[in-house]
Amino acid sequence: MIIEIIYFISLIIFNIFLSFIFLFLFRKINAKFQGRKGLLLIVPKDLRKTIGSTKIMQQFYDILKLFYKQTIIPKNSHKKIFIISPIISFILSIIIIPFLYFPIINDAQQKFLFIPFDLLIITYAIILIHIFWNIGAYASASPWAYIGIERSEKLNFFAQISFISSIFSIAILSNSLSLKEIVIKQDIPYILLNPFSAISFILFILVNFNLKPFDVSEIEVEIVSGPFTEYSGKLLGLIELTKTILFYINSILFINIFLKSGEFFSSIINLFLLLIFAGIFVIILSIINNIFPSYRIDQALKIYPILVIIFSSLSLMLSFIYKIFFG
């Protein structure tokens, strides 16, 4: 029993560690597209004393620093909700990690967490994280947060449709709601079988992480930092940590579902393949993030629903067609 607990704790810590590296990758690639050098991978000797020997864990230090900062709770806010909702969303993000499919550690995981409908748990956890953030922001009673929540909820409504239909079309395709089964049953990667589903997933991620062109809920120049305007110190650190983990979870989940989790060869290579694919996925996200300015809210609300409806219905239809003719 103890061994299993240690196993899960180390699994979570390892994954959080990986998530920091993913965010480093994201920031580095953004910088590269902008023609900058970006965070230094190796800091030259003379500077090591002041800024550390590598910047790969920058996100970790950012968050750690936020934890050491003064936390301010606004006077007018509903204190309990304001504090508790980031904590709940953090716990939710931690809960998702063991459900993810990793080629090597799968067997040990299987004993405990082989739940036939784990995909549903992941889906709802991811959606709930966002909802709790917005509840917490609503409790902060800031006008900028209100505008941010209003925008974020409007877009997230469609984003969730997109996400759910993407997941469900895969579930229909594979005839299962278990992530493990989906991975194992994939003979051909689902991204080839049902590319619309993958696009729906990406559409969801764009809104979920406030990537351009749909970053209307957190755009700095219009509304300071959207829903998170009032958060500071430890709570902001917690939100940042959750965001980092969520970013990581979503990219891994994408590979799990659509690219057979990288399970093409023997086990150790598979893990690397998984991470490499996930890295490529991050690069694609970064490209989209970097070649567009952001939409105005009304433009976003005009275009995004249309995209969502087209791609999610296409993906569901495609899955049904496969189901009818081949399954």
Partner 1 sequence: MLSWLKKKARMYSPWIYHFHAGGCNGCDIETFATLIPRFDIERFGVKLVNSPRHADIIIINGPITKQFVPMLLRVYNQVPNPKVVIAIGSCALTCGVFNRNGEENYALAGPAEKIIPVDVCVPGCPPKPEAIIQGVIFAIKKLSSKK
Partner 2 sequence: MRNIKTLIEALKNIHSKETISYPIGEWPGKKYSNIPETLRGKPIINEEKCIGCEACYNACSAFTIKFFNEKDKRRYSIDINKCIFCGRCEDVCPEDAIKLSNEFELTHFPEENEEKRYVKWEKILKNCKNCGERFATIDQINKIHDRISLNINPKVSEEVLKDYEIYSNYCPKCRKILSYKIGINPSKYYLRIGKDLKEMK
Partner 3 sequence: MIENSMKNILEDLSNLIIETHDIKINKQLAKILSIDKEKLIEIAKRILKNSNSRLVHEIAIDLGIDGFKIIQLYELFNSEGKAYHIGIESYFPREESKIPSLAAITYQANWAEREIMELLGIEFEGHPDKRHLFLPYEWPNETEAGLEEAKKIGFNVFPKPEPPNILPIGPYHPALLEGVFLRLKVDGETIIDADLKPGFNHRGIMKLGEERSYWRNLYLFERVCGICSADHTNAYVLAVENLFNIEPPDRAKYIRTLGIELERIASHLLWLGVAADLIGFKTFFMWCWKEREKAIDLLERLSGNRVTKGIARFGGAKRDLGKEEIEKMIEKLKDIEKSVKNLLDIAYNNSILRKRTEDIGILDFQNAIEYGAVGPVARASNWKIDVRHDCPFDAYSQEYTTWDVIVDNGKDVWARVIVRIKEIFVSIDICNQCLNALKNIKGEIVTSEKIELRKGEGIGKVEAPRGELIYYLMSNGEPIPYAVRIRTPSYRNNAIVPFILKGYRISDAPIIYGSVDPCMSCTDRVQIIDIKSGEKKIISLNDLIKRR
Positions in the binding site for partner 2 (CB under 8 A): 32-37, 44, 46-47, 287, 290-292
Of the candidate residues 169, 178, 194, 229, the single one contacting partner 1 (CB under 8 A): 229
Residue type, 251: S
- With respect to partner 2, which residue has the nearer C-beta, 44 or 143? 44
Determine if 35 is a binding residue for partner 1 (CB under 8 A): yes
Instruction: Give Cβ neighbours of residue 40 (< 8 Å, ≥ 6 apart).
Output: 54, 55
Whether 326 and 318 have beta carbons less than 8 Å apart is answered as: no
Determine if 74 is a binding residue for partner 3 (CB under 8 A): yes
Closest to 100 in 3D by CA, of 264, 266, 261, 272: 261
Of the candidate residues 139, 161, 179, 216, the single one contacting partner 3 (CB under 8 A): 216
Whether 159 and 250 have beta carbons less than 8 Å apart is answered as: no
Determine if 242 is a binding residue for partner 3 (CB under 8 A): no
Mark the segment that binds partner 3 (CB under 8 A) among 45-53, 70-78, 108-116, 182-190.
Answer: 70-78
Of the candidate residues 14, 17, 61, 112, the single one contacting partner 1 (CB under 8 A): 61
Q: What is the nearest approach in angstroms of partner 2 to the Cβ of residue 68?
A: 24
Q: What is the nearest approach in angstroms of partner 3 to the Cβ of residue 112?
A: 43
Mark the segment that binds partner 1 (CB under 8 A) among 37-45, 129-137, 195-203, 300-308.
Answer: 37-45
Q: Which does 65 bind (CB under 5 to 8 A by kind): partner 1, partner 2, partner 3, none?
A: partner 1
Reduced to 3 states, what is the DSSP secondary structure of residue 39?
coil
What is the DSSP code string of 275-286? HHHHHHHHHHHH
> Which helix (H) or strand (E) is 81 found in, with range?
helix 79-96
For the chain, counts of helices (H) and of strands (E): 13, 0
Q: What is the nearest approach in angstroms of partner 2 to the Cβ of residue 29?
A: 9
Determine if 224 is a binding residue for partner 3 (CB under 8 A): yes
Determine if 17 is a binding residue for partner 1 (CB under 8 A): no
Determine if 48 is a binding residue for partner 1 (CB under 8 A): no
CA distance 298 to 291: 20
Of the candidate residues 23, 29, 39, 126, the single one contacting partner 1 (CB under 8 A): 39
Give me 110's structure tokens.
Answer: 């299987």
CA distance 186 to 188: 5
Determine if 36 is a binding residue for partner 1 (CB under 8 A): yes
Other CB atoms within a 10 A radius of the CB of residue 98 amount to: 17
The interface with partner 3 within residues 24-43 (CB under 8 A) comprises 33-36
Placement of tokens 């549903």 in the chain: 120
Instruction: Give Cβ neighbours of residue 112 (< 8 Å, ≥ 6 apart).
Output: 4, 8, 98
Q: What is the nearest approach in angstroms of partner 1 to the Cβ of residue 232?
A: 4
Of the candidate residues 68, 80, 111, 324, the single one contacting partner 1 (CB under 8 A): 68
CA distance 3 to 154: 45
Placement of tokens 């696009």 in the chain: 199
Determine if 291 is a binding residue for partner 3 (CB under 8 A): yes
Determine if 225 is a binding residue for partner 1 (CB under 8 A): yes
- With respect to partner 1, which residue has the nearer C-beta, 226 or 262? 226
For the chain, report the end-to-end CA distance as a whole number of angstroms. Answer: 41
Binding residues for partner 3, rule: CB under 8 A, are: 33-36, 72, 74-76, 142-144, 212-213, 215-216, 219-222, 224, 229-230, 290-299
